[in-house]
Structure formats: structure tokens, C-alpha cells
Structure 1
Amino acid sequence: MTDSAFATDDFIRSRIADWLRDLGSVRRLAPKTLEAYSRDIGQFMSFLAGHMGGPVSLAALKDLRGADIRAFMAQRRSESLGSRSLARVLSALKSFFGFLEREGTLATEALNVIRTPKIGRSLPKALTVIEAKQTIATTDEMEDIPWVAARDMAVISLCYGAGLRISEALALTSGDLEAATLRVTGKGGKVRMVPLIAPVRQSIETYLGLAPFKLWPDDKLFRGVKGGVLSPRLIQKRMEQLRSALGLPPSATPHALRHSFATHLLGRGGDLRAIQELLGHASLSSTQIYTAVDTERLLESYAAAHPRG
């Protein structure tokens, strides 16, 4: 497939550029989402251009039918694209055509007859409390350089002890660290305050005390050995070493520690709304999945321990 730069005329190309700018600056979509949407719309335009034998124009989009979109979705599925990715593709198309309609450029009913692919909701794979504690406690045994070991322990502690995404932990600056709280910038630039429990704060202070770099308030907190911003891949590799050392399943990733944070809080009677705020979820439905995780663990324990299990 060619991309949209060759599959569309100048007018449609400019509308795509305006739409992507709107998503980034006004709607503040994450860079990876913008990249995916740009790729999705480019592949759609390339598909249409292949059928028409030339660049896609406004007139061609006005003649768009539901059958055209179904054919495109069928092609993408034939390329082994899963339901979740297909749903994102459809979301990108709806966003673009919704933008054209708001602009007064084009209105189409073609997308209204397309159903969103059904997505099976998978449960997060949480570690047990013992596994999570062992993961953190064993981190400093994986590295001979004291400050690097302290750094990795601090990052992993933030994932489990504060429920941070790895990207959120690595985006922290010295200025985000306060006495008892942490200022976290999540998806879409949304800022939330997260309580900083004593063990997590101590792990950060240990790292700062050992780090060989001078950090100013606006500097990223976690650094690589050459002084640059720490790559998430290094923390992922550290988790791979920990999985091997502790015999943990492949699902034991930095993000699984965030899942474990939420699941363990809920299991100890944590309020669902409070957990939503701590995780930075935009809607409660995203957090409610952890009730299913907790119920699943309860049933597993019941089946294992009950005399008739």
C-alpha cells in the first residue's frame, strides 16, 4: 500500500493534515494514537485509490458507500488485523469524517451502517501480593552498579506502589516530587496527584542520593548511564530478568505491576472511585474491570481451598 500522500489529491491531503493537527493540539491525543490514526487513514485512502485508479478526491468521498468501508475492513482483517485494531481503524475513519462534517466540507451516512467489531475484554494479569513484593525486593540483586540498581527499584516501585504507567514514571521530573504526593502527567496531558507512600518515597530518595547526575526541577528524574533520559526498554529488560529469577509468568511486566496495584487495593476494600482517580482513568468503566479480576481470584481461591472444590 502507498500512503495518503500519494493516494489523495491536494485538497484531501490538506484536510487530513488539518484533522491530525486538530487531534494533536485540540483533542490532545497521545502521539502513538496520532501515529496509528494517520496510518489507518492513509491505508484507507490507498485502498480507495486502488479501486478508483487514481488519487481520492472530495467527489469520490461524497460517493462513498457502506460497502466500500466493509470491503476495506475485510481486506484489513484478511491481513490478520485483530478486532481491537479493526475497532481503532473504524474509530479513525469516524473521527476523520466527523471532522469533515464539522468543517462543513462533507457529510456521509456510509459509516453509520458499519458495526464496530466485537472485542473480547481480557482481564488484567495481576501478580500476587507476595510476587509483587518479591519483584521489588529482588531488583537490586540484578545490577552491580548501586545507583542503577536503586534507579530500577525506584521505577518498579512507582509502578506497583503508586500505580503508574511506565511512561508516566519515566516522564517524572524532580519538580513533580513533593513531600507526600507525586504530580503525574497521564494520557492526554491530564495531571493527577498520587499519594507517595513511605517505601516508594524512600526508593526514590535512595536513587537520588546515589545518582551521579545533577538534576534540576525540570529535568527528567530517571537517567540512563550516559545521562540521557531512561529508555522504557531498559526497565522492561529488567523485568524480564526478574521473571526468570523468580519464575514468574510472561505476563509479569511493568504494566502488570500497575494492574496489581489496583487489584490489591480493591481486594483490601479500596473505593472504586478513588482507585479510578489514582490510576488516571477517564471513566469508571475502565476501572471496573478490576472488580472482575478480584472476583476471579476469589473464585480461584475458593475452588482450591473448599473441600468440594
Structure 2
Amino acid sequence: MFEALYVEKTSTGQSATLRQVSERDMPSGDVTVRVRWSDLNYKDALAVTGRGPVVRAWPMVPGIDCAGVVEQSSNPAFTPGQEVVLNGSGAGELHWGGFAQRVRVPADWLVPLPPGLSAYHAMALGTAGFTAMLCVQALEREGVRPASDPVLVTGATGGVGSIAVMVLATLGYQVVAVTGRMAEEPYLRALGAQDVLPRAHFETTSRPLEKARWAGAVDVVGGQVLAAVCASMRPAGVVAACGLAGGMDFPATVAPFILRGVTLVGIDSVTCSQAVRLAAWQRLAALIDPAKLDTLTLRVPLAEVPQAARDLLEGRSKGRIVVDIPQ
């Protein structure tokens, strides 16, 4: 038996309770990991609260990320005692995830913990940091360089946005952060933002083309904000889109794409290959300052995840939330 946050359907919706579950009930996989840390992402918050259709198999143990130590493995790629990281791949949606003391998954969902990165800091990054890194790599791949014009980051006080600001600033980009909470401007400037803009500038219906300002952008919001960002890109600008906090709609025109040659790159952090995951995690380990990462990280015990999930969805938290799994 082990402890897990267990989500199941009820007559009024769903419940999320901390309970003892049996290893016999765990889904199949060739590697069993003793979880030390997990984290709380936007998708996890939706799964725990039931405010979004994230869970697709019932009952479920949510948690799309975790870091820990291999206990058992029938795959030669991993051995007992090895530290590993799991993020995405369907954990917490179709397959029991990381809000538990144990997780059993296919070996190709895991990557070895990169040298120089602790398990705690791996979860301070989590899928948010991994997604931010994929966005940065997309901008680089499409030719956006630090010497280019400024790069915009929307949703900048959230997990993905905060780490995107930090990584881009570390690489030497001129970063402009967008937030709905201007009181957090000192926080964003401490992460490396050179300027901070209110989200309201991007929430009104934009013209097909606005003043060309940005060489690149990381958009976590979607909806009208993404449309406004695309309309204000410079010629040959690149937008990496990775979120939908502002909605699924995309009320844009083709003007930025056919008149300025703007590129819109979609970022999928769930179904990446193991090689892509490993490369991104290794780069994060090389770029991230653990002390700075600590300034944007809150630690909560597993039992407090339901409340932390509500706080995240209602805009009462910022940065990253690491979940302390009881040992």
C-alpha cells in the first residue's frame, strides 16, 4: 500500500482525496519509481478540481510530473537506485501520475536526472520549465537571436512564463513580459525582464496588423492575446504558442502570416520523443540558476494540493509549485 491523491467520479462530479491505494491497482509499466517530488501545473489543477476535461480514465491519480528513484525495472535502460524524471506522456490523464508515493510507467516515458540538477529543482522546473525550453528552442530554430528585436512573453507570472523569462534573459535576449498583475513587475524584472506590459494591451480586439514590435514571442495565454501578439510581430517574427489560459479560440486573420511572414509554432510537451526530452532537460540543467529558481518556487505537501490547485486557477499564486511527497 502507498499514499496517493485519488480522483474519482461522484454523483455530483468528482472528488479528490488522499488515501492508501494498493500496488496491485497500479497500471502497467516496466519501471516502478519511488516518488520524492512532484509539482502542480495548470493541467494538474484542472484535473484535481474537475474544472477541465483532463482526466480521461477513472479513477485517476493526477500529477503529470514527478522525480524520484527507480525501485524496480524490467528494462535495461534503468536500474534500481537511479534518479529519474517523468513529465507528460499521458501521466495524470490516461495513466496514474505523480501525486503518489509510487508510480509505474513505461521506460520510454522517463529520462535520467541530468547531472547538476537535483530532483527538487527538476520539479521546480517540471513540465512548465520543459515547455518553456521547447519554446526557446523553437525560437532559436526559426532564427530568432539575442541580437534581434525584443522577445515577448505572455502569462509571465505563471510557471511557463516565469521560466521562459528567466531562460531567455540568461541567453541574452531583450525580454518584455506581459502580465495581468502589474503589482508583480518587480518579480518579473528580477527574473530578467527589461520591461513589463499590462495584459489589457493585448485583450482588446486587434486590427489585422498592429505596429511591428517583436522579433519573437512565447505565448501561454492563447485566445485574443495570441491574436494580438501575432498582429504585432515584426517581419519574419516567430511565435511559440504553448497554452490556452485565455481560451481555445484564435480570433486572428491571415494578415501577419502572408504580409509579414510571421511563423506560428505549436509546442507539444506531452508526446515528445525521449531524445527530445533528454536534450531539453540537459539544457535546462546547464542554464538554470538554482538560487534564482528558488525565488519563484513554493513548496506544498501532497495533502494541500487540492487547495493549491484552486489557488492556481483563481490567480492567487505565481511561479512554480513543488509538491513534497511523504516518504
Is the TM value for this pair above 0.5? no
TM-score scaled by length of structure 1 = 0.32
Normalised to the residue count of structure 2, the TM-score between the two structures is: 0.31
- Higher share in helix: 1
- The structure number with the bigger radius of gyration is 1
